[in-house]
A and B are shown apart, each in its own frame.
Chain A
Amino acid sequence: MYQWLSARKLKTCGATPGGPSIVGVDVTTQTIIQGVVLKAGNDGVPNGTPAGNAHVRLLDRDGEFTAEVPTNSQGQFRFFAAPGSWTLVVQAPGARVEKQIEALVGANPDIVFSL
């Protein structure tokens, strides 16, 4: 199973890891799935360099496509989904990473991908 990874505990040398700001989003009704895609350092740990050329795909519990967004220049992405099980697939030149998550109503913990 996927373990939530706290973005705040990662070492950084560039952009601050974490999803886009949720200021102005109604967290009482929206199920917010968001995070950041970072390039891995030599030790395999995200080094804070954002991957601004990645595509993040959200699949439902049956593996069906639900949405897809490109990451922004900070490597961030965001979805408004519904409570339940989802799979995130990140595609970037030469890379493909998949994670399963459980989402609740509100702002779920940021998801960090390391390419």
Chain B
Amino acid sequence: MSRDTSLVSADWVAENINNPQVVIVEVDEDTTLFEQGHVEGAITFHWRDDLQDGLIRDLISKEKFEALLSKSGISNDSTVVLYGGNNNWFATYAFWYFKVYGHTDVRLLDGGRKRWELDARPLVRDLAKRTATRYVAKERDNSIRAYRDEVIAAIGLLNIVDVRSPAEFSGELAAPAHLLQESGQIKGHIPTAKNIPWSKAANEDGTFKKDAELKEIYVGAGVDLAKDTIAYCRIGERSAFSWFVLHELLGVSNVKNYDGSWTEYGSLVGVPVAVGA
């Protein structure tokens, strides 16, 4: 749980493309990006088809996770490097996912696909072939995953951090502005949540800010790091990004990602909701 063990630079990835110990995995919201070009040697996971149960709303089971990693050629001792588009939103979600199932060595490419592209580093279309493994996952680590009842119980007591944009927090928008503004849920936020957008933690090129700056972003906004913290967004990806900042870069252990997020909370009957800034 530190920058040294959780984050790698583009130079590091470039130097380790042929390292058999390293498996590079791209996870995008726009799943067409991978086929348009990707880091040499990378494989891809589809955030929905591979990582969502599909029947019920949940992560895939331990057995399905084991099958996915086994067929992808990932071993229990592999160094998994995740990266993706949209400032690593879905890559950090996958990072959190790997941690939920107890993978030991997983890292994130700082700046993700965007920094890689802005540096004009090479992207290839060739598909990597990997030999299947027999991956064994651990039981889910629920110390980093929040469920709705504990979120409701945390109102007014614990740190609740809404990492969506101010426009979503206030209720002006229902979703990030690259998506249609649909009204499946009511708009607003969880009462007593502090709005600290995920983007505060990133530079414009998608790389993370320095640790001292990161800490000040949360502490300065009134987050008491001695208390437990729950991060949420709309569907749990951006909050995985902020969870990564707090839990992995800053080493704050008592932080959970509420992956049900606003699409669950904003659909619940009778729970309190706040609107406005």
Contacts and interface: CB of A to CB of B under 8 A. Distances in A.
A39 B165 CA distance: 30
A101 interface: no
Given A60-B166, A65-B197, A66-B167, A82 B86 contact: no
Contact of A60 (B165, B180, B181, B205): B165
Interface stretch (A3-11, A12-20, A89-97, A106-114): A89-97
Interface in A39-59: 53, 55, 57-58
B176 interface: yes
B197 A92 contact: no
A15 B33 CA distance: 21
Contacts of B118: 55, 91-93
B212 interface: no
Contacts of B176: 66-67
Contacts of B177: 33, 58, 66-67, 79-81
A69 B178 contact: yes
A109 B33 CA distance: 27
Interface in A70-106: 70, 73, 78-82, 89, 91-93
Where chain A touches its partner, the secondary structure class is strand
B199 interface: yes
B165 A66 contact: yes
A58 B106 CA distance: 31
Contacts of B266: none
A95 to B, nearest CB: 9
Contacts of A67: 165, 176-179
Contacts of B175: 80
A64 B196 CA distance: 11
Given A82-B172, A82-B173, A91-B204, A53 B117 contact: yes
Using C-beta atoms within 8 Å of the partner chain, give the interface range for chain A: 20 to 34
B16 to A, nearest CB: 23
B38 interface: no
Given A57-B204, A93-B119, A68 B87 contact: yes
Contacts of A64: 165-167, 197, 199
Contacts of B36: 73
B167 A82 contact: yes
Given A53-B117, A55-B114, A57-B204, A68 B172 contact: no
Contacts of A79: 177-178
A27 B178 CA distance: 15
A80 B166 contact: no
Interface in B165-193: 165-167, 172-173, 175-181
Given A82-B172, A92-B118, 9 more contacts: A29-B181, A64-B197, A67-B165, A67-B178, A79-B178, A81-B177, A82-B181, A91-B118, A93-B118
